[in-house]
Structure 1
Amino acid sequence: MTVVAVLADPPRPGLVLPNLAETSPLTESEAADLYAAMLRDTFLAAVRSGGELLVNYRPDDLLPDEFVTDEPAAAAVRAVAADALGDLSDVRVEKQVGSTFDARAGNTVSHLLNTEGEQSVAVVRGNAPLLTRTLVDSAAMKLRSTPVVLGPSTDGRCYYAAFTDTIDFAEAFTASEIETLAARGHDAGLDVDFVPMQPTIETGEDLLTVLPMLHARREAGRIVPKHTAEFVAELGLRVVAEDGEKRVVRA
């Protein structure tokens, strides 16, 4: 069984998806709401798969001071998880450890594999709304024979990184992270495999990719990420082309 560690921040305006608010019609508050919606869908995908969900939150002492509020980070992330899943009594909720995302991801993977004896661990940011149970289970199947399984995203990013052994995580999730993670796996003498590409959302440019996919799936009667789709519908977000240039508009 793969432990799916969703590394989650409290969904606070300006803290999460800051580039999205700067490059799209969304405000900082709306970007935070979208982040929370995508987290809910990620939690659901993990729970519905054959894996075990770990809600791995960034605690207050690892947040910039301006984003620390009266509500503890743990409570804010728990509230998002509870809204998606209901009862959390069977869900692992643990704090992250480390000063950077790379360190926090590496510490989570290393602790679960080396200290707790888990067979495989996946790191997920929660900003890939089209992550599904099927993708999680497909990665788990590949992990039976391949120690590193990666999910490539747009712009050289990685939406899903799973391991049965550790690699050098220092700066592994920076720059072209899909290439870096694959290289680190190779450097550790580990085979690397991939699951299908899925888009992530960090900027307005990413919405140009994701929004048509969501609307197309809805029109075709296919499964859509419930919470993300509801958010998009509520704001009336669409992609239009004007004078040969695509842009995101809202109703």
Structure 2
Amino acid sequence: MTVVAVLVDPPRPGHSLSRLAQTSPLSESEAADLVEAMLGDTLRAVERSGGELLVNYRPDDLLPEPAVDPDESPEESIRAVADDALESPEAARFEVQVGSSFSARAGNTVTHLLRDEGVQSAAVVRGDAPFVLRSTIDSAAMKLRTNDVVLGPSTDGRVYFAGFKAPIDFDGAFVSPEMETLVDRANDADRDVGFMQMQPTVRAGSDLATLVSTIRSRWQAGRVVPERTAEFVVDNGLAVVGDADDELRVVRD
């Protein structure tokens, strides 16, 4: 069984997808609501899969000031999302992240799972890839049977999934461009690398355009969509238009 660690911050205005709020019609509050919706879809997908869900969150002392809420701890905030999204939230593990950077936190989690707990494989997922479905997680677990490292490529050189059957040197491993950096580290450790299909992640306005267009297209075609993220798109009247230069931008209906 693959343990899937979803590394998350509490969805809070001014911190969650702050660049998205600066490059799209969404306000800081709406960007935080989108983060919550995508996180709920991600947690539900992992729960439905054959993997084990580990929710890995940053405590207040590792969060930047905009993400600190004196009235609600990060665990309370994230557990509220999990309680709403999961069928059996009591079955999920919740653990604090350890490390000063994302690379360190992801590496500490994966290394602990592989070396200290002796799991067969461990994966890192962020909550910003809403098209990660149950089948995505299960397909990655199958690939990890024959590959030491499995990566899910995304836009702008990112990864939406990083699975490991054996550790690599994680120091700076998630530095942009994540995909190339992780492959370099895997090669340095003599690890075989497998790849999954590309999926979008959401961090800026151009990413939101891809998300909105894909959700609306899949919905019109009668295909599966991430439920909470799709509801956010519809409830906020988001649509995509092209300009004379074929550049896409998000507008409200």
Tell me the residue number matched to 2:29.
Answer: 29
Amino acid across the alignment from 2:215: L
Tell me the residue number matched to 2:251.
Answer: 249
Q: Deviations over 1:8-35 (max 9, x none)?
A: 1000011111110000000011000000
TM-score (normalised: structure 1) = 0.98
- Cα distance in 1 for partners of 2:19, 2:211 equals 16
Distance apart, 1:246 and its partner CA:
2.2
Distance apart, 1:206 and its partner CA:
0.6
State the SS of the aligned residue for 1:150: strand
State the SS of the aligned residue for 1:14: coil
State the SS of the aligned residue for 2:212: helix
Q: Deviations over 1:161-205 (max 9, x none)?
A: 000111111111111101111111111010000010000000001
Tell me the residue number matched to 2:62.
Answer: 62
- Cα distance in 1 for partners of 2:215, 2:64 equals 33
- Cα distance in 2 for partners of 1:39, 1:26 equals 17
- Cα distance in 2 for partners of 1:175, 1:78 equals 30
Alignment of 1:94-243 (within 5 A): 94-243=95-244
- Cα distance in 2 for partners of 1:192, 1:250 equals 41
Tell me the residue number matched to 1:10.
Answer: 10
Tell me the residue number matched to 1:51.
Answer: 51
Segments of 5+ residues of structure 1 without an aligned counterpart are none
Greater shift after overlay, 5-14 or 84-93? 84-93
Amino acid across the alignment from 2:39: L
- Cα distance in 2 for partners of 1:153, 1:239 equals 20
- Cα distance in 2 for partners of 1:229, 1:161 equals 25
Tell me the residue number matched to 1:41.
Answer: 41
State the SS of the aligned residue for 1:89: helix
Is the CA contact (8 Å cut-off) linking 2:10 and 2:67 kept in structure 1? no
Distance apart, 1:87 and its partner CA:
3.8
Distance apart, 1:86 and its partner CA:
4.5
Percent identical residues:
61
Q: 1:94 to 1:186 in 2, by over 3 A?
A: same
4+ runs of 1 displaced by more than 6 Å?
none
Is the CA contact (8 Å cut-off) linking 2:149 and 2:165 kept in structure 1? yes
Distance apart, 1:62 and its partner CA:
0.6
Q: Deviations over 1:57-94 (max 9, x none)?
A: 11111112342212001100111111101542211111
Query: What is the aligned-residue RMSD (CA, Å)?
Result: 1.0
Greater shift after overlay, 146-155 or 85-94? 85-94
Amino acid across the alignment from 1:5: A
Is the CA contact (8 Å cut-off) linking 2:129 and 2:199 kept in structure 1? yes
Question: What is the total number of aligned residue pairs between the two structures?
Answer: 251
- Cα distance in 1 for partners of 2:171, 2:240 equals 37
